[in-house]
Amino acid sequence: MRYLVTGAAGFIGSHLVERLLAEGHSVVGIDGFVDNYERELKESHLALYAKHPQFEFVEDFIERLDLNAVLDGVERVVHLAALPGVRSSWGSSFEDYASHNVYATQRLLESALHSGVTRFVYASSSSVYGDAADLPMREDARERPHSPYGVTKLAAEHLARLYHRNYGLATVSLRFFTVYGPRQRPDMATQRFLTAARDGTPIMLFGDGEQTRDFTFVADTVEAMVRAAERGHEGAVYNVGGGSTVTVNQLIEAIEEVSGSRLQVDRQGAQRGDVRDTCADTTRARADLDFAPTTPLREGLERQWQHILASAKPDTQKT
């Protein structure tokens, strides 16, 4: 198969591209290098497969690309590119979120209609649920985003449904729950906490730490994407959770055990847009995709910790 992967230099995208190339597929990757974190890190991801004979890379934003040319010969699209972050999506930043997360998705869907694309997988988020009244979160629950970021992810998800219902485009949306693992974005809690454990620096914790998250190892997330591209029901929405729902305080304890370091915690007030609890009901994904996460939290943290140690610059190594 020939795949288009947007956000190909990002955390999840880089793992997906590696998996697809290893399976013998050809991949066109797009990334606009949004400046939400250092370009150098994204380029290091890209360097892992940039010279692969079955990989082509296009650097630009989806909003301004000639997508018909990019999609020429592409059979499957996995759309990961987005501007992430709940806390940074307020105020004047919303214009960028609307452009990167909603308008870009609409342009890609529109072009996919005329380019022979047989399956379009959209990477949505558990943020569409907001503070859910009932746990675990089910795909048929009422969506109540608690942040502008969640609003944009839900809007793009609705667009995917509309293109399926009105034009028959074979779309599948996956709602990711707190993906972690090697190459995780530096602003995400697991990466921040593990890096602080390595460097002996304090961490900032928002809220009382009793909020819960459903942590999903990146390889399990990639597995769900591959299965959705192969067998997901057209027009369907699936939760992708890791089955490791713990409090942030419990996460900190696990990180201390894995790293052998005691974390210094600077406790701050809760932030706007942060939800209290997330927990995925993955019944639908198990039934339709035969998907079940296989990486326990402790094992996933250990793998992320080893990656952080291996990638440390000499001046950040603990003595």
Catalytic sites, residue numbers: 149
Q: Is position 211 within any domain? A: no
Of all helices (H) and strands (E), which one includes residue 57? strand 55-59
CATH for 125: 3.40.50.720
Q: Is position 221 within any domain? A: yes
CB within 8 A of 112, min separation 6: which ones?
Answer: 71, 77, 120, 163, 169
Q: Is position 58 within any domain? A: yes
- Over 60: is that where the pLDDT of 13 sits? yes
Q: Where are the alpha helices (DSSP H) in 1-130?
A: 11-22, 39-46, 67-70, 94-97, 104-113
314 or 167, which is more confident? 167
Q: Is position 250 within any domain? A: no
Tell me the residue range of the domain where 49 lies: 2-177+217-241+279-294
- Over 90: is that where the pLDDT of 273 sits? no
Local confidence band at 262 (pLDDT 50, 70, 90 cut-offs): very high
Q: Is position 63 within any domain? A: yes
At 116-151, the pLDDT tens digits run: 999 999 999 999 999 988 999 999 999 999 999 999
Q: Is position 28 within any domain? A: yes
- Over 70: is that where the pLDDT of 314 sits? no
The helix/strand/coil state of 84 is coil
Q: Which residue has the tokens 């250990």?
A: 302
Complete edge-to-edge strand list for the sheet that includes strand 55-59: 55-59, 26-31, 2-6, 76-79, 119-125, 171-176, 237-240
pTM: 0.96
Q: What is the pLDDT of residue 319?
A: 38
Amino acid at 70: V
- Over 90: is that where the pLDDT of 183 sits? yes
From start to end of 129-221, where are the E strands?
A: 171-176, 179-180, 203-206, 212-217
Q: Is position 65 within any domain? A: yes
Q: How many domains does the chain have?
A: 1
Residues 6, 30 contacting (CB under 8 angstroms): yes
Local confidence band at 274 (pLDDT 50, 70, 90 cut-offs): confident
Residues 23, 96 contacting (CB under 8 angstroms): no
Q: Is position 6 within any domain? A: yes
